[in-house]
Structure 1
């Protein structure tokens, strides 16, 4: 069961209406790295978790918190739209410099949602469940979670710098703090799992069934060798199975592919069908 508490987790009240900024906030609500994405990602990972109970509880704890963050953003967006006539925004946007800097009000806020938030990004593109990751492998999933929190924090910090409204900044400062906490949380969880199973996900695939030398080689496909100075090209592998090997001029090992003609033309006379067989190659 889920219980809804009427009070918000933190304050979400702007000083004045700003429909253009309401559109911008839609990105961190319904964009790829918005609060809807992390909410659904953590909840589905938790619902599907078959590992130690503490991981399931942790995922559901943070997923439930993210439901509250979605409500905070919806509340803020609705208040930013309150009392702000669209014609005033359209008048502002007539100046091409202002329009370029600010964008404009999302017309769907007046046409579709009745001056309320929507499950979409800042361009009105609907939120998509393809944004979320729930693979069942905790290490892989937790790394995806760390990425989601990192990308989300980058966007929230940029939005913080794009407003001087003290009410908006008040809410965003809290969300920034929680994103910092969540990054630390996922790094701690990743570290714990790596200590138990190692840093490779999944850890279960037998290493002897791989092309073993390829697990160590950094292949330089660019002009110059600047990449050779990186930690990823020298010293011990993080998984403890050997050392990095820098390959300056990797050589092709697969040979030239030769494809057979389509099955429905294999027995036709060359040159009579839509494909012409010429020395093992297909030409239209």
Structure 2
């Protein structure tokens, strides 16, 4: 059940109308990080929360507050548009080029909103429910909440420096303060989740044994900048300075002829010559297993139920021997080749 109180959460009275700033202020209403986004983000997070008590109460308390922020901003927009000319260029816009682009208020504020706020951003694009994050995992959601409040406060701070109106500034000061509190509360709620043993550092706190163990502790150096390894994040992570591509060519399959995509069959690549000692990972039709075999030997050096397990074992074997590792598809075609010499 929701109950509306007629008084605003904080006053929203500009000193004088300003349709250009009303246009800008729409970003705080209907932008990706606007108050509509956090309102619906927190409402759905609260409704989807499976734990009764402090976490659900915090989420819904904040959601209800954000509804009030939307009302404040909508009221401010309507008051900034008071008396704004619907057919003339606003006085605030002097430059002819700027006037042609802006023309004072957003035309939709007059045509669609009747001189009021819109559920849209500062470009007039409508607010989109895809902006919100409500996953049901509180750690992931609270991190998204802290980021949303940081982006919202950043945009509020920028708008604060775009106006000289004392009334507008007072309202924005209030929103800045509330965004400060909300960032702090979500960051502390994350700490509380860990203290309560509900979540840990990584979301979700599961499947750590199943994930690829070779690649769960490395940062890949893939830019020209060389200072990444100097950060504190290398405390328990290795900075891999020369990572190698682990997959084959990013080649799409032949298209359906009915789609008329341009296509020319590629020339078949010649089989690479394997030297004695090189390692092959392949599928055995005889027993339905994935195997690794060293070139020059008759017997497989290892057998696995899955390709992933066999490929990892083959990679380690090739690395240890300092040779080439060839990975084949189920049909025998080569999928990957890696040289560890």
TM-score (norm 1): 0.86
Q: CA deviation at 1:261?
A: 3.5
Cα distance in 2 for residues equivalent to 1:17 and 1:61: 33
Aligned to 2:314: none
Q: CA deviation at 1:278?
A: 2.9
Q: CA deviation at 1:136?
A: 0.6
Q: CA deviation at 1:103?
A: 7.3
CA contact (8 A) 2:93 2:99 kept: yes
Cα distance in 1 for residues equivalent to 2:85 and 2:213: 65
Distance 1:200 1:274, change over 3 A: closer
Q: CA deviation at 1:252?
A: 1.8
Aligned to 1:277: 265
2:213 paired with 1:247: no
Q: Secondary structure at the match of 1:152?
A: helix
Aligned length: 265
Q: Secondary structure at the match of 2:163?
A: coil
Cα distance in 2 for residues equivalent to 1:12 and 1:201: 40
Aligned to 2:5: 5
Q: CA deviation at 1:255?
A: 3.5
Aligned to 1:125: 125
CA contact (8 A) 1:109 1:117 kept: yes
Q: CA deviation at 1:102?
A: 7.5
Q: CA deviation at 1:130?
A: 0.4
Write out per-residue CA displacement over residues 89-117 of structure 1, whole angstroms, 9 at most, x where no aligned residue. 44653524765998742111111111000
Q: CA deviation at 1:211?
A: 1.4
CA contact (8 A) 2:89 2:103 kept: no
2:197 paired with 1:209: no
- Name the one with the larger strand percent: 2
Q: Give 1:11-50 correspondences, 5 Å limit.
A: 11-50=11-50
Name the stretch that deviates more: 116-125 or 211-220. 211-220
Question: Where does the alignment leave 5 or more consecutive residues of structure 1 unmatched?
Answer: 236-242, 266-272
Q: CA deviation at 1:213?
A: 2.7
TM-score (norm 2): 0.72
Aligned to 2:201: 199
2:126 paired with 1:115: no
Aligned to 2:294: none
Aligned to 1:166: 166
Question: Where does the alignment leave 5 or more consecutive residues of structure 2 unmatched?
Answer: 270-341
Q: Secondary structure at the match of 1:246?
A: strand
Cα distance in 1 for residues equivalent to 2:251 and 2:33: 42
Cα distance in 2 for residues equivalent to 1:52 and 1:204: 23
Q: Secondary structure at the match of 1:182?
A: helix
Name the stretch that deviates more: 80-89 or 53-62. 80-89
Write out per-residue CA displacement over residues 240-275 of structure 1, whole angstroms, 9 at most, x where no aligned residue. xxx21111111122234666545779xxxxxxx974
